[in-house]
A and B are shown apart, each in its own frame.
Chain A
């Protein structure tokens, strides 16, 4: 495989970027959701 270093760099930058952004969003949304009552959380799954 040619350009292996470039390939690894390009793909891993993408994966790390998207995953860390997604984790940030989900963790923050979760901490916010705990402070908002269920009837004001539209579109989201009800508490079991």
Chain B
């Protein structure tokens, strides 16, 4: 087949000094280094600067989370990023249903995947924090815990649907609806679990009920900023990965179309004359286009 495709053009006209193409840009480089540097600073702040969480009660007992409080600086950002990811998926799904472009679809799936990753990290780190603080790995009475678990499960289902091979628009539309239902569901689950829990008069949030130290608050804010940079960096790369994938699929479709046209042209030529020439073949796509 004498048809040149965009892919082979690229390979043939490769430049002299070839740097392997990546999904990075100036923005992602800056964000990447910022998050790396920020994380290093965060480790120092969290372990060297923030004091132990202790409090002396009226009876003179020393209580508090002690050093377990240092887990907050990974747990809280992870939770907020997970919810942000699902929030972006929700908005992008609405955007997809309104505008029906691949951009929104890709944004939705990228944010959902990052959201699930941070959601799982939230549950794991929360569980690790809960063991020394609440004396249990899992507390059914905590609304946010149960809500987060259900939310992560809903979006794991969402990603499972994403992996099923089906026509792109059908998948995008269905997944957009699943994301919308999923977020509506979060609100219902949150309300109902809250109600369920209040029957047992569970303790109030241990984090907010207590006065928080300035150093801890600063480091927490800092960890959120680092998390935001990391999230943006991950989202950009993940988005570009999905974008490249969609471009590749489109290229394959285009190539198949060109081949099919050349083939039908070949059949036409054979019908007209028994000897199709090479020139006929290479002109095939353009002629085929004119005829249609």
Contact = CB atoms under 8 A, between A and B. Distances in A.
Contacts of B22: 26, 29-30, 33, 44-45
A29 B240 contact: yes
A37 B4 CA distance: 13
A3 B135 CA distance: 12
Nearest to B244: A32
A18 B15 CA distance: 34
Contact of B21 (A7, A13, A34): A34
B241 A29 contact: yes
A40 B236 CA distance: 16
Interface string A8-44: 0111011001100110011011101111111011111
Nearest to A8: B128
Contacts of B129: 6, 10
B138 interface: no
Contacts of A2: 52, 66-68, 132
Report the contact-size class of chain A (Cβ under 8 Å from the partner). Answer: 35 or more
B198 interface: no
20 contacts: A6-B128, A10-B74, A10-B125, A11-B74, A13-B125, A18-B117, A22-B237, A25-B237, A29-B237, A29-B244, A30-B23, A33-B23, A33-B244, A36-B21, A37-B10, A37-B251, A41-B21, A43-B236, A44-B23, A44-B24
Interface range for B: 35 or more
A38 B19 CA distance: 12
Contact of A35 (B24, B68, B124, B248): B248
A42 B103 CA distance: 12
B55 interface: no
Contacts of A37: 6-7, 9-10, 251
Contacts of B26: 45
Contacts of A17: 117, 120-121, 124
- By Cβ-Cβ distance, the 10 closest A-B pairs, closest first, are A29-B23, A37-B10, A29-B241, A32-B244, A33-B21, A2-B66, A14-B74, A10-B128, A10-B71, A2-B67
B230 interface: yes
Contacts of B183: none
Contacts of A44: 21-25, 240
Nearest to B74: A14
A22 B234 contact: yes
Nearest to A4: B67
Contact of A43 (B15, B43, B52, B240): B240
A47 B10 CA distance: 11
